[in-house]
Amino acid sequence: QLRRVPVEVGDLFLFTTDGVHEYVSDQALIAAIQAHPDHLDRAAREIATRALHAGSPDNVSCQIMRFDALPQTDAQGWFDQLTEKPFPPELDPGMRIDGYRIIRALYASARSQVYLAVDEDSGVQVVIKTPSVNYQDDPVYLDLFTHEEWVGKRLHSPHVLRVIEPSRPRQFLYTVSEYIAGETLRQWMHGHPQPDLHRVRDLVGQIARGLMAFHRLEMIHQDLKPENILIDADGTARIIDFGSTKIAGVEEITSPIQRLTLLGTRLYTAPEYLLGEPCSSRSDLFSLAVITYELLTGHLPYGEHYDETTIRRLTYTPARQWVPDLPLWVDWALEKALKRNPELRQAELSEFLHDLTEPNPAFVTARRPPILARDPVATWRGLFIISALGNLALLFLISRL
């Protein structure tokens, strides 16, 4: 059963099993709590002991909860919480912030600054991300910035960037994560314009395992793209940037801060976002399939003109149009993962990975492709030969006239 009741600071809630409240009177329960107002664990033990002495043969469980503080529920209260710590100043090499020494700037944009730093206690290199002063009065931006750290602390996967909990109190608003020497997948793609199918499967498998860490916790990344994937010197892929992540239940919480619904990059965003429809783990699958298609072909499956006004009219461009020697069943696996209707995609990331590795018999029985799709090179060669023979025959007839 679920009940919703208003609470105030100082309110006490007493939870007991029937093995307690059927053997201890309400007056005795209240007396035990009043006898130990500052030691509620003692009060709980005393209540349980009274139930046992009264002959309770059932489960004897008792929990007492007191609300010492509550969040403010108005918009100003939310904003005050988010801005409790000031923005850090612009950081230069050699500057120190809460025990971290700045080595150099790694990246800067209108939304944030990223620095390489060293923890002076441990000597470990870390990455510090600071918010941009351009958004100091923007509660939506601050909500997303703090949201990213909350998400990162709960994810544990070798294919997800690790967020670090600072061991010292923070005087400013910033986040700390592990430092990985490497390049983004976008940079990797520029250096490897035609990776083989085996390498693509390996990378996509790693990214998928990172996404699975989100999905196990009922989270959806929502902004998967090559710029948000890091490849280290050993070839290990890690998902970074969690600011757009959707957490099950969070959107149902009443908040004066209006969270954005479309946070991802449009070209990699699933159609359901653009159409205002519910998203799911299959939305992340769509984004991963776009990346897979781009890795294999150097192109996007729906081109550059992909938005809410055109999505209903777009048709899938077979990957074999760009890579004729790509196995047909791999192309079918991509086409299924890139369906506009999420219900027609693979149900799980693991199913998509399997379809990329092993021919799915369902694809073969569902349809037999035209000759042009099965072997475009041979088809065009045959058409050329037929055309040439036809021209020769025509010349022969003309010469006889």
State the catalytic residues.
Answer: 223
As a whole number of angstroms, the distance between CA 257 and CA 141 comes to: 10
Burial class (CB in 10 A: 0-12, 13-18, 19+), 330: buried
The answer to whether 172 touches 85, Cβ cutoff 8 Å, is yes
The answer for residues whose C-beta is within 8 angstroms of residue 72's C-beta and 6 or more apart is: 78, 80, 81
Helix (H, G, I), strand (E, B) or coil at 246: strand
Tell me which long-range contacts 260-266 makes (C-beta under 8 A, separation of at least 24). 260/140, 263/144, 263/222, 263/223, 264/222, 264/223, 264/224, 264/225, 265/223, 265/225, 265/227, 266/306, 266/307
The answer for residues whose C-beta is within 8 angstroms of residue 100's C-beta and 6 or more apart is: 117, 118, 119, 120, 126, 128, 176
CB atoms within 10 A of CB 210: 24
Q: What is the largest CA-CA distance in the chain?
A: 122
Helix (H, G, I), strand (E, B) or coil at 375: coil
As a whole number of angstroms, the distance between CA 224 and CA 238 comes to: 11
**What is the C-alpha end-to-end distance of the chain, expressed in Å?**
96
Helix (H, G, I), strand (E, B) or coil at 390: helix
The answer to whether 230 touches 161, Cβ cutoff 8 Å, is yes
